[in-house]
Amino acid sequence: MSSNIDQLSIDTIRVVAADMVQKANSGHPGAPMGCAPMAHVLFTQFLNANPKNSKWINRDRFVLSNGHGCALQYVLLHLMGYKLTLDDLKNFRQMDAKTPGHPENTHTDGVEVTTGPLGQGISNAVGMAIAERHLAATFNKPDFKIIDNTVYAIAGDGCLQEGVASEACSLAGHLQLGNLVVLYDSNGIQIDGSTKLGFTEDVLQRYEAYGWHTQHVADGDNDLAGLHRAIAIAKAETTKPSIIRIDTTIGFGAAKAGTAGVHGSALGAQSLADVKTRFGFSPEQSFVVADEVYKFYAERAAHGAKLESEWNELLAKYAQAHPELHAEFVRRVEGRLPEGWAKVLPTYSPSDKPEATRKLSEQVINAIANVVPELIGGSADLTGSNLTRWKGAEDFQPETTGLGTYSGRYLRYGVREH
């Protein structure tokens, strides 16, 4: 095994992920093995979260958009100390396991959003970034940054070919969501073979046209310093969402690395043994994690716990300085609706004259919009037709546009109907 803790950790992620797929005889080892370096750098040097309290509201969010590579996420969550044991990793893709074949939000501790259908994860990440910007604009005060988290996502070639991702990312650019960072796993491979078969556009130029900040790391297999530098630059860019194209080798270290053959099936006993030998692991052992790897990840987890503790202290001071805002913030976080909200709902009877359902919807929206301030709506360029904008609504827009603010609650989706 390598004596370098970063390299040892990366190789551990690769080998354990391959072990998971091999034991289940089902799954996708290629993406986890190729994405291990970027994911390791992200989780150990940037992601602010407390594994002992995965619901801390100001945690950074991580979305694995290419959810088929979920063995990667499960290994990372285990190393960080979330409620996933080594036995859970061994039970990958089995009935009632905490490690299903795609990440599931309500099933596995630390998974922020269910992903699987390509493109939908990155689109959810856009939604999370919108939510962060809105909450920050609503509740933050000078000296009180109650909400200031970052949304990170890993997405692959398949995600960025999907129409839903294109629509969401176009909107993200318009909305100037500088709290969103996407790591684009550019391995050039999909199920049918090379992406050259049908995906030859310059993705970064497309995203520049959307209004994103773009970067390129040419050696995502080895250039840890380059990965760190790129993520740091992206995090520092607060006026645009960021995407980093990271060139990787799918199935790095395996006999079929760099081919579709390593995408969606187990490596096979001999290839897996060769991988372990290459990375300094015993071919005779499976699911091996060195103590120093656990210790290294535990240090990052402890950092996250410290951040939450400091945030709790800040929130207590916020309660003293802004008691009404604090009470409203806590109510929303706890998921409680305002007292008496149902009393403002209009009532109807069978004898009422017929009305279009969109008109009835408008009446309900107008009744509750100011009583339920967390209500957010919008329209796909049909506001005057579907009657979704309530009286006095403010648009959710960057202030630089002069069209609204981030505290606004009405989204203009444009003709993006996914």
Give the residue numbers marked as catalytic. 417
Q: What is the CA radius of gyration of the chain?
A: 23
SS3 243: strand
Cα separation, 264 vs 260, in Å, equals 8
CB neighbour class for 63 (10 Å; exposed up to 12, middle 13-18, buried from 19): buried
Cα separation, 326 vs 316, in Å, equals 9
Cα separation, 287 vs 337, in Å, equals 46
Question: First and final CA of the chain: distance in angstroms?
Answer: 47
381 pairs with which residues across the strands?
none
CB 174 within 8 A of CB 145: no
Residues 6 or more apart whose Cβ sits within 8 Å of residue 7 = none
Residue 306 in tokens: 């410290």
CB neighbour class for 1 (10 Å; exposed up to 12, middle 13-18, buried from 19): middle
Q: Helices (DSSP H) in 91-185: which residue ranges?
A: 120-139, 157-161, 163-174
Residue 61 in tokens: 């969010």
**In 3D, which of 143, 172, 166, 183 has the Cα closest to residue 35?**
183
Q: How many CB atoms lie under 10 A from the CB of residue 58? A: 21
Cα separation, 220 vs 361, in Å, equals 50
